[in-house]
């Protein structure tokens, strides 16, 4: 197989899901236009969404979902031992994601409220990098199809991927989008890492921060803007905490 005239070895990949909605895996599987060309660069040996084949000789592992049980942690460690490259994909794997909302409450209260008297194996929400070393993180909720393709090409060619360090606001300006702040919406674009092509603001929705913090994000200025526009502290906190994207800031 050749790509841009270069003879390439097709790396074997596995895609694995833990606690999450599997939306990021569906983004890959539903990429109809480019799926054939994309899978021409790689050999899929373990990916439940598209194949019943389950081999353990993968070289690159893509991990979706957060880790919420010791069984999941053990399985993740086994995958890490096999994979030469491990990639966390999506907000849940990279940040904790929506699942992390249960961490705001005592775990026993959450279990009782959701499952009642039924016994359930669940624990604190952990990011993938809290369990094993991660080589690449591809955030988003869900991940961007074009960005996933871009990342696969880089991995196949052995090129270190360089993700944007600037905020989503830059992509908005590049697309000449109308600012959703002027439409009365909360937007975390000023502090969220770009790379999504400003998909939410360009569709008239405020950014929710599913890609995590941009480099040198100015949270103080953002808070000042949000307060000036009349948003309540409760509303601001709810948005900022939604994906657990800004913990520590």
Q: Which two tokens stand for residue 135?
A: 């080589």
Segment (H or E) for 123:
none
Residue whose tokens read 């002027």? 182
d(CA 139, CA 245): 10
pLDDT tens for 47-68 read 999 888 899 999 999 999 999 9
232 burial level (CB within 10 Å; 0-12, 13-18, 19+): exposed
In the chain, domain spans: 2-157, 168-241
Q: Which two tokens stand for residue 27?
A: 């983004």
Half-sphere exposure of 117 (CA within 13 A, CB side): 0
The mean of the pLDDT values for the chain is 92
Q: Using the 8-state DSSP alphabet, how is residue 19 labeled?
A: B
d(CA 166, CA 194): 6
The pTM of this model reads: 0.92
The pLDDT value recorded for residue 194 is 96
The pLDDT value recorded for residue 85 is 96
Choose which CATH entry (3.30.43.10, 3.40.50.2000, 3.40.50.700, 3.40.640.10) describes domain 2-157.
3.40.50.700
């Amino acid at each position: 197989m050749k790509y841009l005239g270069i003879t390439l070895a097709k790396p074997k990949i596995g895609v694995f899901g833990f606690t999450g909605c599997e939306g990021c895996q569906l983004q890959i599987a539903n990429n109809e236009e480019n799926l054939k060309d994309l899978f021409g660069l790689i050999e899929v040996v373990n990916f439940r969404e598209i194949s019943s084949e389950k081999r353990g000789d993968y070289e690159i592992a893509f991990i979706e979902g957060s880790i919420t049980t010791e069984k999941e942690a053990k399985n993740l460690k086994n995958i890490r031992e096999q994979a030469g490259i491990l990639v966390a994909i999506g907000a849940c794997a990279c940040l904790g994601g929506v699942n992390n909302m249960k961490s705001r409450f005592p775990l026993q209260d959450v279990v009782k409220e959701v499952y009642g008297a039924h016994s359930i194996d669940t624990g604190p929400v952990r990011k993938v990098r809290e369990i094993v070393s991660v080589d690449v993180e591809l955030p988003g909720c869900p991940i961007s199809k074009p960005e996933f393709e871009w990342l696969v090409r880089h991995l196949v060619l052995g090129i270190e991927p360089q993700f944007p360090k600037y905020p989503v606001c830059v992509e908005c300006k590049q697309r000449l989008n109308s600012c959703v702040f002027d439409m009365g919406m909360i937007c975390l674009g000023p502090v969220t890492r770009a790379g999504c092509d400003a998909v939410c603001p360009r569709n008239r929705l405020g950014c929710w921060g599913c890609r995590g913090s941009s480099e040198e994000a100015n949270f103080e200025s953002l808070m000042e803007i949000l307060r000036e526009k009349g948003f309540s502290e409760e509303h601001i906190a709810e948005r900022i905490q939604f994906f657990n994207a800004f913990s520590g800031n």
